């Protein structure tokens, strides 16, 4: 396995133990990395702190960061700078859309709902990269989570599919921009995983079942698989890769 001992990573988007961000946290913890966690709002603080306490490493920094607030993002990275200094990578595992827009006709999407999904699920990567960049003094690796619904039309994914397309293009523009500073930016396109966010998507069970029946590997993706891929993208093993969307989806995307 890959060692990331002596390196520090920021993990954004742990809501509970089912979160994909938590799969990434566990893999990074096993690699010996030092971790910093950010959570969306007060209601997540205790659950995130309780989870972090179950990890092997001693990861003390758990900070609020609502990505819809420029001030919150600035404050969060200021605190990280003061307390830790240099970071080596960041996992963006954040998305949101209104439940009513993850079903029915895409043409019914409201302006508010469209902008909200873009704001939290896509623009957030850009502002986070802006504030993370000065802390990546030894180079860095930024990883965002996406879904195949950003490449092709998937049932009910609707407004979130458009947000993921925008997120994936942001990954490419950020990669082009930050490469000169030794910072790589990539996306992991995960197969569907049953999480809190996934609860909002209608017919999620049907989607899981289809992957089991039709994907090349004939099984669903696990948070551990995404976590291990994130460790690869955070390590020197992937030093030649940037601007990429790597599918960790049992091969479903080839169909
Ligand atoms: O099938 C899936 N679950 C897939 C998820 C397949 C492919 C990709 N993804 C993506 C999601 O779109 C997201 O980008 O993975 C990422 C993580 O999602 P998750 O692990 O499925 O979901 P969850 O455990 O709910 O974590 C998402 C978290 C939020 O939880 P809530 O329940 O509050 O939505 O995103 C965070 C929050 O922790 N979040 C925010 N963080 C900061 N500021 C904000 C915000 N304003 N809003 C949501």
Q: Whose structure tokens read 């930024």? A: 142
**The pLDDT of residue 203 is above 90:** no
User: 9 falls in which pLDDT band (50, 70, 90)?
Assistant: very high
User: 133 falls in which pLDDT band (50, 70, 90)?
Assistant: very high
In contact, 15 and 38? CB cutoff 8 Å:
no
Residue 147: CB atoms within 10 Å: 25
141 bridge partner residues: 89, 184
φ and ψ of 251, to 5 deg: 85, 10
pLDDT tens-digit map of 25-41 = 999 999 999 999 999 98
Q: Which ipTM score applies to this complex?
A: 0.94
Q: Exactly one of 39, 131, 147, 252 is catalytic; which is it?
A: 147
Q: Is the dihedral of CA 91, 158, 147, 203 positive or negative?
A: positive
pLDDT of residue 199: 85
Does any ligand 1 atom lie closer than 6 A to the CB of residue 33? no
pLDDT of residue 202: 82
**The pLDDT of residue 76 is above 90:** yes
State in Å: Cα 118 to ligand 1 middle. Answer: 13
Does any ligand 1 atom lie closer than 6 A to the CB of residue 122? no
Closest-CA residue, ligand 1 atom 17, reads 93
Active site residue 123: no
Q: What is the reported pTM?
A: 0.97
Three-state DSSP class for residue 36: strand
pLDDT of residue 200: 82
Does any ligand 1 atom lie closer than 6 A to the CB of residue 11? no
User: 244 falls in which pLDDT band (50, 70, 90)?
Assistant: very high
Average pLDDT over residues 163-181: 99
Q: Where are the beta strands (DSSP E) in 16-94?
A: 34-39, 62-64, 89-92
120 bridge partner residues: none
Closest-CA residue, ligand 1 atom 42, reads 40
| Residues contacting 26, CB < 8 A, separation 6+ | 55, 223, 224, 227
Does any ligand 1 atom lie closer than 6 A to the CB of residue 35? no
Pocket test for ligand 1, best of 19, 64, 95 (most atoms within 8 A of CB): 95
**The pLDDT of residue 230 is above 90:** yes
pLDDT of residue 143: 99
Active site residue 173: no
pLDDT tens-digit map of 142-153 = 999 999 999 999
Average pLDDT over residues 74-81: 98
Measure CA of the first residue to CA of the last residue in the chain; give whole Å.
Answer: 31
Which of 40-49, 126-135, 226-235, 242-251 is the least confident region?
40-49
Please state, in angstroms and rounded to a whole number, the distance separating the CA atoms of residues 78 and 86. Answer: 12
Provide CATH code, domain 8-254.
3.40.50.720
Does any ligand 1 atom lie closer than 6 A to the CB of residue 193? yes
**Which atom belonging to ligand 1 lies closest to the Cα atom of 190?**
7
Q: What are the Cα distances from residue 128, in Å, to 4, 27, 35, 38? A: 22, 22, 17, 12
């Amino acid at each position: 396995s890959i060692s990331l001992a002596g390196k520090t990573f920021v993990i954004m988007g742990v809501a509970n133990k089912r979160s994909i961000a938590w799969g990434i946290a566990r893999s990074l913890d096993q690699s010996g990395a030092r971790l910093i966690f950010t959570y969306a709002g007060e209601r997540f603080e205790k659950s995130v702190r309780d989870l972090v306490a179950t990890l092997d490493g001693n990861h003390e920094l758990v900070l609020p960061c609502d990505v819809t607030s420029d001030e919150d993002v600035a404050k969060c990275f200021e605190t990280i700078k003061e307390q830790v200094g240099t970071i080596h990578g960041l996992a963006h595992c954040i998305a949101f859309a209104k439940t009513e827009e993850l079903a029915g006709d895409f043409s019914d999407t409201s302006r508010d709902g469209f902008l909200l999904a873009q704001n939290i699920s896509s623009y957030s990567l850009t502002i986070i990269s802006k504030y993370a960049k000065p802390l990546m003094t030894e180079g860095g690796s930024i990883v965002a989570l996406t879904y195949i619904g950003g490449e092709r039309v998937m049932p009910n994914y609707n407004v979130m599919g458009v947000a993921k397309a925008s997120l994936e293009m942001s990954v490419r523009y950020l990669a082009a921009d930050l490469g000169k500073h030794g910072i790589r930016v990539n996306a992991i396109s995960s197969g569907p995983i049953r999480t809190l966010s996934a609860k909002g998507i209608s017919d999620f069970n049907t989607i899981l079942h289809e992957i089991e029946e039709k994907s090349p590997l004939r099984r669903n993706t696990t948070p551990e698989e995404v976590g291990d891929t994130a460790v690869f993208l955070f390590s020197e093993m992937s030093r030649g890769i940037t601007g990429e969307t790597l599918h960790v989806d049992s091969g479903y995307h080839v169909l």
